[in-house]
Amino acid sequence: MSFSSLGLSEQLVRATSDQGYDTPSPIQLQAIPAVLSGRDVMAAAQTGTGKTAGFTLPLLQRLADNPRNGKGPRALILTPTRELAAQVHDSVNLYSKYVPTKAAVVFGGVKINPQMMKLRKGVDVLVATPGRLMDLYQQNAVRFNEVEILVLDEADRMLDMGFIRDIRKILALLPAKRQNLLFSATFSNEIRGLAEGLLDNPVQVEVAARNTSAESIVQSVYPVDQSQKTALLSKLVRDNGWEQVLVFTRTKHGANRLTQKLEKDGITAAAIHGNKSQGARTRALADFKAGEVRVLVATDIAARGLDIKQLPQVVNFELPNVPEDYVHRIGRTGRAGESGHALSLVSADEGKMLAGIERLIKKQLPRKEIEGFEPKNNLPLKPKAKADPSKARNRRPQGGAGKSFGPKPAGRSGGRGRGGQGEGQGRGQGQGRSGRPAQRQSA
C-alpha cells in the first residue's frame, strides 16, 4: 500500500516521501480514505501511531480540491498542549509544502499580538489550544464562519486538562455544516458523550496502540524504598552507561528535586514541566536530543507529545496516578519498531498504583531487586485480583493492526526531531480554564 493508492494527490505524496515515509501506518490506512470521503471520523489512536499525518494529509487534500478565497480558517485543529500544537503545526507545514495552504498556530503563554497579526493576514489551517483560541475570538481576532473541518486531537487529554467548557463554546460558534474528526487515545464515557453530540454517523478507526504493554518493550519493576530511589537511579545510569534516559516523576517539584540531586551527583540532567518557561523547556529538550544532557526528567503532561526518536530507556521514578499514563510513558521508548526498556522504581506505598497498572496491561511485571537497595518495606508480589470497574477509565479496545509502521524508511532515523519547537501553552498545566484542577499533577 502506498500513499498515492489511498487517493492522495501527487503533491501530498511527494511531501511524505520527502520525510522518508513510503508505507502508510495502520491508522493512516484507515483514516486517510475516511477523511477524504468527507465523513466524520472517530479514531482511537495515540501519539506515535502516525495519527497527525492521518488527519493532516486528507484534510489538506480536501482544502486543495476546493479552493476558496476567504480569510479562513477553513480547518481548525484543537490540541491540549502548546507542544502538541507546535508539533502539529510543523507537520501541517511539512505536508503542505507543495500545496498553497497557509497554516498558523496559536497558544497561550506567549504574546497574543503576533498571533492576531498572523490571523489578520488570513489562514487556511489553524492549530490552536482551546483557551487561547477563545481569547482570540473574544478579541475579534478570529472568526469561525468559514470552518469546514474541525479536528479534536488528543480529546481525552483536553478533557483531563479541563478544556471541556472552552471546547463546547467553540463548537457552538462553528458553522453547523462541517466535517468533524475526533482523535483520542482512550474512550471514557465523557469522551463518548462528547463524540455523540459532535459526530454524525462517524467512520470508526481503531488501531492497536503500538507498544502498549508490548513485546517490543522490556518492562520491569525495581522494588526500592522511596528514600533510596535517587541513589538507585544514579547507580543505574552509571552502571548501564545510559546516555539518554527519560525519567518520569509525578510532580513538578519532584522533577526539579530529582534533577538537582542528579546534577549534584555528576549526572547531567534537565527538567521539563509546566512551571518552566518555554525557553527552558525548548532548551532542555534540545540539549537532551543533542546528547548534552543524559537524563530528562518530565511530568506526564509535559511529556505528552514528545517524540524523541529511538529513545532506548524510560524510567518511572514514581508511578503515575492514572494507569493509562503508564502506557503513555512507556510508549516513549521502543518507538517505530525499535525495542526499548521501561523500568519502574516502585516503593511500597505505590503498591496500589502498580496493581492498577498490571490490571490494565493484563500482566504482571517482573520484579528485580538490586543488591544494596533491597526495600525495608516490601511490595506485594501479586496484583490484587479484583478490579474496581467504577474507577477504571474505559480503555481503547485492543486488536487490529500491528505495532510498527512496516519497513523502516531510510530517512527516519536522521530525520527531524519532534517537540523541540514548542512555544508557550494554553493554560498552566495544573488547571483548566474552568478552574478545575487537572487530576494528574498534584504539585
R_g of the chain computed on alpha carbons: 21
- What is the C-alpha to C-alpha distance for residues 332 and 342, in angstroms, rounded to an integer? 9
- Of the candidates 51, 178, 250, 304, which one interacts with ligand AMP according to CB under 6 A? 51
CA 433, CA 250: separation in Å to the nearest integer? 22
Of 46-54, 71-79, 247-255, 292-300: span binding ligand AMP (CB under 6 A): 46-54
Least distance to ligand AMP, CB of residue 52, Å: 3
* Residue 212 within binding range of ligand AMP, rule CB under 6 A: no
| Among the residue ranges 48-56, 213-221, 260-268, 350-358, the one whose residues contact ligand AMP (CB under 6 A) | 48-56
Give the residue with the Cβ less far from ligand AMP, 134 or 298.
298
Residues 166 and 309 sit within 8 Å (Cβ to Cβ): no
Closer residue to ligand AMP in complex, CB, 183/326: 183
The one-letter amino acid at 334 = G
Residue placing its CB nearer to ligand AMP in the complex, 47 or 316: 47
CB of 27 to ligand AMP, least distance (A): 8
Q: How far is the CB of 28 from ligand AMP (least distance, A)?
A: 6
| Count of residues touching ligand AMP (by CB under 6 A) | 17
The amino acid at 144 = F
Does position 25 interact with ligand AMP (CB under 6 A)? The reply is yes
Specify the residue, 166 or 206, whose C-beta has the smaller distance to ligand AMP.
Answer: 206
Residues between 371 and 410 with contacts to ligand AMP, criterion CB under 6 A: 405, 409
Which residues lie across from 152 on neighbouring strands?
A: 78, 182
CB closer to ligand AMP, 68 vs 416: 416
Judged by CB under 6 A, does residue 24 bind ligand AMP? yes
Residue 9: CB minimum distance to ligand AMP, A: 16
Of 157 and 433, CB closest to ligand AMP: 157
Question: What mask, x for binding ligand AMP by CB under 6 A, covers residues 26 to 45?
Answer: --x-----------------
* Segment near ligand AMP (CB under 6 A); pick from 19-27, 225-233, 286-294, 390-398: 19-27
* Minimum CB distance to ligand AMP, residue 58 (Å): 13
Decide if residue 222 touches ligand AMP (CB under 6 A): no
Give residue for cell 492576531: 116
Contact with ligand AMP (CB under 6 A) among 307, 318, 324, 358: 307
Give the nearest distance from C-beta 77 to ligand AMP in angstroms. 12
Residue from 26, 48, 274, 331 that binds ligand AMP (CB under 6 A)?
A: 48
Contacting residue, 32, 43, 53, 125, with ligand AMP by CB under 6 A: 53
**What is the separation of C-alpha 316 from the centre of its chain, rounded to a whole number of angstroms?**
17
55 binds ligand AMP (CB under 6 A): no
Specify the stretch interacting with ligand AMP by CB under 6 A; choose among 16-24, 113-121, 230-238, 425-433.
Answer: 16-24
Report, in Å, the least distance between residue 168 CB and ligand AMP: 26
- Gap between the Cα atoms of 88 and 338, Å rounded: 23
Least distance between ligand AMP and beta carbon 307 (Å): 5
Question: Counting contacts by CB under 6 A, is residue 276 touching ligand AMP?
Answer: no
412-431 positions binding ligand AMP, by CB under 6 A: 412, 418
Reduce the secondary structure of the chain to three states and give it as a string: CCCHHHCCCHHHHHHHHHCCCCCCCHHHHHHHHHHHCCCCEEEECCCCCCHHHHHHHHHHHHHHHCCCCCCCCCEEEECCCHHHHHHHHHHHHHHCCCCCCCEEEECCCCCCHHHHHHHHCCCCEEEECHHHHHHHHHCCCCCCCCCCEEEECCHHHHHHCCCHHHHHHHHHHCCCCCEEEEEECCCCHHHHHHHHHHCCCCEEEECCCCCCCCCCEEEEEEECCHHHHHHHHHHHHHHHCCCCEEEECCCHHHHHHHHHHHHHCCCCEEEECCCCCHHHHHHHHHHHHCCCCCEEEECHHHHCCCCCCCCCEEEECCCCCCHHHHHHHHCCCCHHHCCEEEEEEECHHHHHHHHHHHHHHCCCCCECCCCCCCCCCCCCCCCCCCCCCCCCCCCCCCCCCCCCCCCCCCCCCCCCCCCCCCCCCCCCCCECCCCCECCCCCC
Residue 83 or 325 with smaller CB distance to ligand AMP: 83
What is the spatial distance between Cα 334 and Cα 21, in angstroms, rounded to a whole number? Answer: 18
Q: With respect to ligand AMP, which residue has the nearer C-beta, 85 or 345?
A: 85
Where along the sequence are the contacts to ligand AMP (CB under 6 A)?
21, 23-25, 28, 47-53, 307, 405, 409, 412, 418
